[in-house]
């Protein structure tokens, strides 16, 4: 596991192993309850831990309708860290800082549209701070998750449309980075959010752009994607 991955998963070891503040909320199906978080009046879950080795700030809205993938994602991160730390313990001389913030995006009506939850993970593992994304999307009418594969009509080739649009933004923002759209293929577009006006794609730092140019967000108007959207 790289130091970058270690920083990404550090949050969950302390959240899920019990190093949190506050009292778990009610609700067995709540990711916040599973994480031992507390919910404020704005219905945002907060998990905080500040130790000699770690500083963690974790927050996300609790109304995302499909809680299990959120909990599963964080559990998976926890398990990766637990396995690594068992072999290579870290001490107070090498503290980690990780701030994880979830943002909601919506399209359509409250029961017939879509809801997206995008996690922005900002971690510093002692070398360079790195920002990554993890997105979840849900069809409120069908009560089903939305993936890149189901976002578009079967048999279409969305990369032929998306790649030129995103490449223009990469060129504007300091590209190329370590990876290209050809390197990543469909995996480049796994993290996205849906709004009434656009589909927003999120690209991790140290990907399409050089590290110093940071992560990248590209908003593609829905009108440009309309013939291909499912």
Same domain, 117 and 208: no
Residue 195 predicted with pLDDT over 60? yes
Verify that 209 and 105 share a domain, yes or no: no
Least confident window among 1-15, 21-35, 90-104: 1-15
Considering the domain architecture, whether residues 161 and 140 belong to the same structural domain is answered as: no
Q: How many domains does the chain have?
A: 2
More confident residue, 143 or 48: 143
* Residue 178 pLDDT: 92
Model pLDDT, residue 23: 32
Q: What pLDDT is recorded for position 31? A: 84
Indicate if 18 and 60 belong to the same structural domain: yes
Q: Are residues 66 and 151 in the same domain?
A: no
Q: Using CA atoms, how far apart are residues 131 and 7, in angstroms rounded to an integer? A: 10
Prediction pTM value: 0.82
Judge whether residue 151 has pLDDT over 90: yes
CA distances from residue 37 to 15, 65, 119, 123, 135 in whole angstroms, order as listed:
8, 18, 16, 20, 20
Which range is least confidently modeled, 65-69, 115-119, 214-218? 65-69
Of 115, 144, 173, the residue at which a domain comes to its end is 144
- Average of per-residue pLDDT values in the chain: 81
Share of the chain above pLDDT 70, in %: 74
Q: Do 49 and 136 reside in the same domain of the chain?
A: yes
The CATH number of residue 172's host domain is 3.90.640.20
Between 10 and 122, residue with greater pLDDT:
122
Highest mean pLDDT among 27-31, 198-202, 223-227: 198-202
Q: Which of the 8 DSSP states describes residue 169?
A: H
Q: Which of 144, 166, 197 is the last residue of a domain?
A: 144
Model confidence at 76: pLDDT above 90? no
Q: Which pLDDT does position 162 carry in this prediction?
A: 96
Residue 89 sits in which domain range? 1-144
- Would you place residue 175 in the very low, low, confident or very high pLDDT band (cuts 50, 70, 90)? confident
In terms of domains, do 73 and 33 share one? yes
Q: Give the separation between CA 95 and CA 90, rounded to whole angstroms.
A: 8
Going by pLDDT thresholds of 50, 70 and 90, the confidence category of residue 103 is: very high
Strands 114-124 and 129-139, by their bridges, are antiparallel
Mean pLDDT for 140-150 is 96
Question: For position 105, which CATH number holds?
Answer: 3.30.565.40
Residue 4: pLDDT above 70? no
Distance CA 116, CA 187 (A): 18
């Amino acid at each position: 596991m790289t130091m970058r991955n270690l920083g990404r998963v550090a949050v969950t070891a302390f959240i899920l192993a019990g190093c949190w503040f506050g009292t778990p909320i009610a609700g067995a199906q709540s990711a916040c309850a599973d994480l031992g978080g507390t919910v404020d009046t704005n219905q945002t879950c907060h998990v905080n831990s500040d130790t000699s080795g770690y500083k963690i700030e974790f927050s996300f809205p609790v109304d995302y309708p499909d809680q299990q993938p959120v909990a599963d994602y964080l559990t998976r991160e926890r398990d990766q860290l637990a396995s690594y730390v068992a072999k290579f313990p870290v001490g107070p001389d090498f503290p980690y800082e990780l701030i994880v913030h979830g943002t909601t995006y919506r399209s359509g009506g409250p029961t017939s549209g879509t809801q997206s939850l995008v996690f922005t993970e900002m971690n510093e593992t002692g070398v360079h701070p790195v920002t990554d994304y993890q997105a979840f999307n849900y069809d409120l009418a069908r009560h089903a998750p939305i993936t890149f594969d189901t976002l578009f009509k079967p048999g279409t080739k969305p990369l032929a449309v998306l790649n030129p649009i995103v490449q223009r933004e990469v060129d504007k923002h300091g590209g190329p980075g370590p990876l290209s759209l050809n390197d990543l293929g469909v995996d480049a577009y796994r993290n996205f959010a849906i709004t009434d006006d656009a589909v927003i794609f999120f690209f991790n730092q140290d990907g399409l752009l050089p590290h110093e140019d940071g992560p990248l967000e590209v908003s593609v108007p829905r009108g440009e994607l309309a013939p291909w959207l499912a």
